[in-house]
Structure 1
Amino acid sequence: MAAVSIILAIFLFLLGYLTPVSTLYTLPISLLLLIFGITRLLKKENGQVRR
């Protein structure tokens, strides 16, 4: 799930940055997804994620 959110964040960032889609919406959403994905990866690395 963390890797998927990081890939989705990168895709949304590129979509908002390189196309005329409004960056007002895509950049904050991609930033939130990136932060969520990184925190999930760090928690998973430390063994703190519960299913």
Structure 2
Amino acid sequence: MPLAAGIVLSTFTDIPAVSVSGNLTLGILWSVLQCGLFVATAWAYEARHPAVNR
């Protein structure tokens, strides 16, 4: 789903330019959500798979 939404947002320039609140646009909001999703999944992965000292 995130990949499909990213493709749609990058294909059409009018969609990311839609104002959500003040200067916040749909493109900026989607970028922030993507970064948050990446950090959350990386954190969850690290929490489940602790590093092994070699």
TM-score normalized by structure 1?
Answer: 0.54
Higher gyration radius (CA): 2
Q: How many residues align?
A: 42
Once superposed, which parts of structure 1, at least 4 consecutive aligned residues long, lie more than 6 Å away?
A: none
- Please report the RMSD computed on the Cα atoms of aligned residues, expressed in angstroms: 3.0
Q: Percent same amino acid at aligned positions?
A: 7
More helix by share: 1
More strand by share: 2
Could you list the runs of 5+ residues in structure 2 that have no partner in the other structure? 19-24, 49-54
Q: Which has the higher contact order (CA 8 A, sep 6+)?
A: 1
TM-score normalized by structure 2?
Answer: 0.52
Could you list the runs of 5+ residues in structure 1 that have no partner in the other structure? 1-5
